[in-house]
Structure 1
Amino acid sequence: MKQYYLFLVFIFFNSCQYFDKQIPSEKELLQKELKSINWKEVDEYPSVVDCEKIEDKKQRQQCFFEVLTQLIQEKLSVDTLSILYPELDTIEVKVTVFPNATMQFEPQFPKDSVAYDKIKIDSILKVRLVDFPKINPAIKRGIPVKTQFILPVILKVE
């Protein structure tokens, strides 16, 4: 019986090598995790209070874009852009939502466009596009992140 216990102890200590597995290094784990993250997508898109009750991710994103476009159109509808540039009926605005919930607006023009005074239009946008409702920034893996998108804004509705 004593030999039996001795044999079991011998097998027990030798079997530990079968359980010894290679542990990946921190760098390997980090690289694997970084490769698995889709950096082009966010977990939650920016949103406003009116869109918070929507559960579907795509519908919430669409609601946010519609609300923001409508707000921009309302703020620019009483402005001199349509008087200064009567041929300008739609303007593309690059919207940047920062992690601290602030926003920046930047007009986008075709590369060959020289017909518009870009500085004047940019200054009009900066003056008019203020006092927006609270915007919740986009979320990626539980952390607020910066997002950018381009919205077409209709200046004249006929």
Structure 2
Amino acid sequence: MKQFFFLFTCIVLNSCQYFEKQVPSEKELLQKELKSINWKEVDEYPSVPNCEKITDKKLRQQCFFEVMSTLIQEKLDIDTLSILYPELDTIEVKVTVFPNASMKFEPQFPKDSATYDTIKIDSILHARLVDFPKVNPAIKRGVPVKTQFILPVIIKAKDQK
């Protein structure tokens, strides 16, 4: 029995180092977690009610882009852009969806846009691109986040309808 007690005491005294593990600090854990997050990718893309029932992430994203492109094209079809600038067939629009579900539209002009009156086109776009349906913002780790993307919008001439 004495040998067992002696052996048990030796094991307990030698095993104390296994109980004193260094606990990482809160800042170290936070930095490690922040580095592991892919900030360029969201968990859920923005969506509109028409695309809510789609469960596949890529199909839902594609649906959202198609709906937004169609809505922007419909709003611009009723304007004179195609008459004022017949050579302008496509405008790239930078769409920003904010966490509060509001949206902002900015036209992206090519480098050689000196031939266009960018201020006039910009004002036409801002006047027309209003009253969109409710958009659910993108989600990252359960939190709504701001997202930006560029949509090519085809300007149809009045006689092409």
Q: TM-score when scaled to structure 1?
A: 0.92
Show structure 2 runs of 5+ residues with no match: none
**Which position in structure 2 is the counterpart of 1:70?**
70
Kindly state the Cα deviation for residue 16 of structure 1 after the two structures are TM-superposed: 2.6
Q: Provide, for residues 69-108 of structure 1, a one-character-per-residue CA deviation record: whole Å limited to 9, x for no partner.
A: 0000000000011111111111110100011100000111
C-alpha distance in 2 between matches for 1:5 and 1:145: 62
| 2:105 aligned with 1:105 | yes
C-alpha distance in 1 between matches for 2:30 and 2:104: 33
C-alpha distance in 2 between matches for 1:127 and 1:96: 17
Q: Provide, for residues 15-69 of structure 1, a one-character-per-residue CA deviation record: whole Å limited to 9, x for no partner.
A: 2322321211222212211111111111100000110111110000000000000
Q: TM-score when scaled to structure 2?
A: 0.90
C-alpha distance in 1 between matches for 2:144 and 2:17: 45
Q: How does 1:75-86 map to 2 (within 5 A)?
A: 75-86=75-86
Over 6 Å off, 4+ runs: none
Q: Provide, for residues 116-144 of structure 1, a one-character-per-residue CA deviation record: whole Å limited to 9, x for no partner.
A: 11111111111111111100001111111
C-alpha distance in 2 between matches for 1:9 and 1:154: 82
Q: How does 1:135-146 map to 2 (within 5 A)?
A: 135-146=135-146
C-alpha distance in 2 between matches for 1:124 and 1:131: 15
C-alpha distance in 2 between matches for 1:78 and 1:18: 75
Q: How does 1:1-158 map to 2 (within 5 A)?
A: 1=1, 4-5=4-5, 8-9=8-9, 11-156=11-156, 158=160
C-alpha distance in 2 between matches for 1:41 and 1:97: 15
Letter in 2 for 1:87: E
C-alpha distance in 1 between matches for 2:92 and 2:108: 5
Provide the alpha-carbon RMSD of the alignment.
1.6
Segment of structure 1 superposing worse, 92-101 or 7-16:
7-16
Show structure 1 runs of 5+ residues with no match: none
